[in-house]
Structure 1
Amino acid sequence: MAEALISVLLEQLASVVFEHTKQAVTLVLNAEEDVHSFSSNLKAIQAVLEDAEKKQVMEARVRDWLQKLKDVSYEMDDVLDEWNTEILKQQVEHGKKKSKGCKMHDIVHDFVQFLTQKECTIIEAVKGANQRVELPGDYKVRHLTLINEHEGQLPTSFDNCKNMRTLTLLDSSITTISPSSIMQMKCLRTLNLSRNKLNEVPKEIGELIHLRYMDLSWSRNLKELPDAVCDLYNLQTLDVSWCLKLEKLPKAMGKLINLKHLYVGGCGALRYLPKGIGSLKSLQVLDQFKVCEGDDDEALKLGDLRIMDQLQGILRIQYLGKDDASEIEKAQLGNKEHLPHLRVIFLIPRVDEDEDEEQRKGDSEIVKALQPHQNLESLSILACHGTTESLYWINSLRNLRKLVLYAWKFCEVLPPLGILPSLEILEILRMTKLKTVGVEFL
């Protein structure tokens, strides 16, 4: 039954593929060769399945045709992904619209996932440092996890992993990855190098055009990413959180038009986010925004968040200064209905006592301009020099469950927070001048 269903799927796929891809493949180098390869692969899958449906096959033969099916399916997936990547490249560089023909790639990709659910290999490094971990020659590894790799260069030969989709290193201390290793993994979709000791990422990373997910978090020696990262048009998740020495991201981040998740929290040395991030309309997660004094032409400003209405999860805005009210207003936080958590941290200025009044006015204007969407579930505001009178909009947050007010230097009276219908947690910390809490809590 399963074989019949798959065969029907492929028959339908074959009937539409060439009509849709005929337009798209003109954008790809050597497109004619790829078309013939795709045609041959598709026919091979159908032939094998038809043979299996017609005959009572022995178990060994079942394994044989299933393996053939997997191999050619991977090849189909790669070809379609390359077409899709080239179209994305044309879209970025020349403003062309994405062809509808590439939507079929999702069908093939789901089909491949169905066929290859158990092709995983886990290897624990037990040899001495700098020893190569060799894989048996008959392995067709698609998903590889390496554990306890020693400090130094990744000591693994990927000669047998040219079709590998996933590489994960756990409890390891890799400092470098050679360009040759990168070039052997051109089909990679997921790269997880979290908590290693990477000093740099080779520019050859840009050759991994199929890459969707890259986790470099907790790479404490990493100072920058190569510009080639911006050639990863299919990348959907980039995690560089807690890369403590990371000073900058590539300028051309706006080319990553499929990027949905960008994690930069804990990057204490990161001076600013590149301006191009403001054009990423598909971005759903931007966990931290650090207000900076960078040049308007190169640094992302708060106002650039205005088109990011798909933001989800938590948004942390750090180091707000007294002059940032207009930028907060431009950010239009009230339009971000999918954003449940907001954390705002004000800059603690080193000012004379005579300048406190100016700081109070500036901070109050910022709080007035916040006005998040009524779907907000948690709100934290830290180190504000304004008064809670500027929180006049808070009663509109009918879904607010948690509120944290920390170190409001001049706050004496709280707004009537007890009337918030969903409020479960209220934290009031270091409010040294607070005198009055509303009776509605009684």
Structure 2
Amino acid sequence: MFKCFPIPFCSRNLEQIDKRHCNLTTVPDDILRYTRTLEELLLDANQLQDLPKGVYRLTQLRRLTFSDNEIQYISPEIGQLVNLEELDCSRNDIAEIPDNIRHCRSLQRLDCSGNPLANNLPAGIIHLRQLNQLTLNDVSLAELPREIGSLSNLRVLEVRENLLKILPDSLVQLPKLESLDLGSNVIEQLPNHMGNLQSLKELWLDSNELHELPNDIGQLKRLQCLDVSENKLTFLPNEIGDLESLTNFELSSNQIEQLPSTIGQLKQRLLILKINSNSLTKLCNEIGQCLALTELILTENTLTELPITIGNLKNLSNLNVDRNQLTHLPVEVNILEIQS
């Protein structure tokens, strides 16, 4: 449990103030005295409705967090916080991010999630060249900045639960991007040259309107987790087999009729394959080459038989084939020590 302590007698050299979970309705005046020394101000989970001007005069701040409040407005004076490295304003009632945020050139982590942003991101956002984590989940975002590729240090980009339909071409120009979460939007097509994202380890595309995956997705040699569940896919490109680092592959709730035989090329790393609620009529023999598999979910398809090569999957601990049209399981499956 967090506790609040009175600070009038604290040293004027105070560097951090933690006022999280303190039921504050206003920012205490005492906090605003530390203009020369305060580097961290944590105001999360209170009942604040605004930030006093004095907060924007704390020019030594490196970390400012006020998530889970009722704040409606960020002043353009935010641009005075030139040393700021982390800003978390998530889960408030903020309608607009001021363009003056462009002056926060030291900013590395920005989280604006869970705010009712009336407009798209300010143009100034692309000047934050030190950003390595940008989190914009559930902000009614209709588009990303065309020049988002300018954020060359970005490692994590989260824009889940928005209104994105088209992605800018420059998205694939983020050389350090490791995690990209585009889930729960209305995206119909991925930009060309997705294979350029050579650092990508996690790609979340679930709950969109995708009809196909680009062939060059196979160039993502470091990709470990790929979630394309709840889309409109009817097939997978053969290049899926080139994802040599893939461990988790989620394909649930699409319209896929068969897996490409190249799935067998994922034999060394693939641990989890979920392809439930699709239109599979047959499972390719090459699935038996995925020797590292521990979980294979085939629920709610139209399978009438399973290949005997499944018997090769000695590491399987969970095989689910419920709600198919199977009349029997191969002997090779019965001898596996699994939950089926």
Question: TM-score, normalised on structure 1?
Answer: 0.60
Q: Please report how far the alpha carbon of residue 193 of structure 1 lies from its aligned counterpart in structure 2 after TM superposition.
A: 1.2
Residue 228 of structure 2 corresponds to residue 344 of structure 1: yes
Contact 1:217-1:240 within 8 A present in 2 as well: yes
CA RMSD of aligned residues (A): 2.8
Q: Please report how far the alpha carbon of residue 148 of structure 1 lies from its aligned counterpart in structure 2 after TM superposition.
A: 3.9
Unaligned runs of 5+ in 2: 1-10, 312-332, 335-340
CA distance in structure 1 between the aligned counterparts of 2:255 and 2:62, rounded to whole angstroms? 51
| Alignment-mate amino acid for residue 385 of structure 1 | Q
Q: Please report how far the alpha carbon of residue 307 of structure 1 lies from its aligned counterpart in structure 2 after TM superposition.
A: 1.0
Aligned to 2:304: 435
Unaligned runs of 5+ in 1: 1-62, 68-117, 295-299, 349-361
Pick which of 190-199 and 212-221 moved more. 212-221
CA distance in structure 2 between the aligned counterparts of 1:313 and 1:334, rounded to whole angstroms? 14
Contact 1:219-1:242 within 8 A present in 2 as well: yes
Q: Please report how far the alpha carbon of residue 247 of structure 1 lies from its aligned counterpart in structure 2 after TM superposition.
A: 1.2
Secondary structure of residue in 1 paired with 2:298: strand
Aligned to 1:399: 269
Residue deviations 1:341-388 (CA, integer Å, cap 9, x gap): 11224644xxxxxxxxxxxxx833x44343341221111223443422
C-alpha distance 123-383 of structure 1, shift in aligned 2 (>3 A): closer
Q: Please report how far the alpha carbon of residue 184 of structure 1 lies from its aligned counterpart in structure 2 after TM superposition.
A: 3.3
CA distance in structure 1 between the aligned counterparts of 2:164 and 2:102, rounded to whole angstroms? 22
Aligned to 2:316: none
Q: Please report how far the alpha carbon of residue 142 of structure 1 lies from its aligned counterpart in structure 2 after TM superposition.
A: 0.3
Secondary structure of residue in 1 paired with 2:55: coil
CA distance in structure 1 between the aligned counterparts of 2:290 and 2:188, rounded to whole angstroms? 37
Residue 194 of structure 2 corresponds to residue 305 of structure 1: yes
Contact 1:132-1:156 within 8 A present in 2 as well: no
Residue 215 of structure 2 corresponds to residue 320 of structure 1: no
Q: Residues 6-405 of structure 1 correspond to what in structure 2 (within 5 A)?
A: 119-123=15-19, 126=23, 128=25, 131-134=26-29, 135=31, 137-138=33-34, 140-150=37-47, 152-155=49-52, 157-158=54-55, 161-180=58-77, 182-221=78-117, 223-243=119-139, 245-267=140-162, 269-288=163-182, 292=187, 301=191, 303-316=192-205, 318-321=208-211, 324=212, 328-329=214-215, 332-345=216-229, 347-348=231-232, 363-364=234-235, 366-388=236-258, 390-397=259-266, 398-405=268-275
Residue deviations 1:176-201 (CA, integer Å, cap 9, x gap): 11112x03322111111122222110
CA distance in structure 2 between the aligned counterparts of 1:279 and 1:305, rounded to whole angstroms? 9
Contact 1:246-1:270 within 8 A present in 2 as well: yes
Contact 1:215-1:238 within 8 A present in 2 as well: yes
Contact 1:319-1:345 within 8 A present in 2 as well: no
| Alignment-mate amino acid for residue 202 of structure 2 | G
CA distance in structure 2 between the aligned counterparts of 1:392 and 1:280, rounded to whole angstroms? 31
CA distance in structure 1 between the aligned counterparts of 2:253 and 2:56, rounded to whole angstroms? 55
Secondary structure of residue in 2 paired with 1:429: coil
Aligned to 1:422: 292
Secondary structure of residue in 2 paired with 1:191: strand
CA distance in structure 2 between the aligned counterparts of 1:287 and 1:127, rounded to whole angstroms? 33
Contact 2:105-2:128 within 8 A present in 1 as well: yes
| Alignment-mate amino acid for residue 403 of structure 1 | L
From the CA coordinates, give the structure whose radius of gyration is larger. 1
CA distance in structure 1 between the aligned counterparts of 2:45 and 2:273, rounded to whole angstroms? 42
Secondary structure of residue in 1 paired with 2:260: helix
Contact 2:80-2:103 within 8 A present in 1 as well: no
Secondary structure of residue in 2 paired with 1:204: helix
Q: Please report how far the alpha carbon of residue 421 of structure 1 lies from its aligned counterpart in structure 2 after TM superposition.
A: 1.6
| Alignment-mate amino acid for residue 273 of structure 1 | L
CA distance in structure 2 between the aligned counterparts of 1:228 and 1:160, rounded to whole angstroms? 21
Q: Please report how far the alpha carbon of residue 159 of structure 1 lies from its aligned counterpart in structure 2 after TM superposition.
A: 5.8
C-alpha distance 382-319 of structure 1, shift in aligned 2 (>3 A): farther
Aligned to 1:22: none
Question: TM-score, normalised on structure 2?
Answer: 0.77
Residue deviations 1:258-305 (CA, integer Å, cap 9, x gap): 2221111222x12222222122222222122767468xxxxx61x321
Greater share of helix: 1
Contact 2:32-2:58 within 8 A present in 1 as well: no
CA distance in structure 2 between the aligned counterparts of 1:219 and 1:420, rounded to whole angstroms? 43
Aligned to 2:3: none
- Percent sequence identity is 22
Contact 1:333-1:371 within 8 A present in 2 as well: no
Residue deviations 1:179-236 (CA, integer Å, cap 9, x gap): 12x0332211111112222211011111111111101122244542111101111111
CA distance in structure 2 between the aligned counterparts of 1:342 and 1:147, rounded to whole angstroms? 33
Secondary structure of residue in 2 paired with 1:414: coil
